[in-house]
Structure 1
Amino acid sequence: MRMLSKRQVKELVLYSPQHIARLEAAGKFPKRVQLGSNRVGWVEEEVLDWLRARIDARDASQDTP
């Protein structure tokens, strides 16, 4: 299992850290994992699954007339 840093998540999803935190709080983004007293990370596969779901939703909306 690979963990992503805040910087890596920001670069991957192209959202600001503040927006990522808002999505997390709303239950619309994978939750961070506390790795140490001053370190958090996200499970890479969970973030990639979230991105895939966004792509799938986009593709599904394009299929409907």
Structure 2
Amino acid sequence: MKKLALFLVGAIAGVLVCFIVFYISGLAFESLGIRLYESEADQQRNFNIFLISSLISFIAGGMLCAKKFA
């Protein structure tokens, strides 16, 4: 049970870090005048990239926390 709880804590922390990185980079690109998408297809591609990176950070954060603190 402890290992599962540690995995979930690490996974949530990993997703939060991923979200913060994407959010800050979006703000930086917007302030520099860089458009991240021109069409709905570009917007969907960016969303898919975010989903994949969120999944990777979820798994990596969970595994790292579970192995480090267990």
TM-score, with length taken from structure 2: 0.35
- RCO comparison, higher one (Cα < 8 Å, 6+): 2
**Structure with greater Cα Rg:** 2
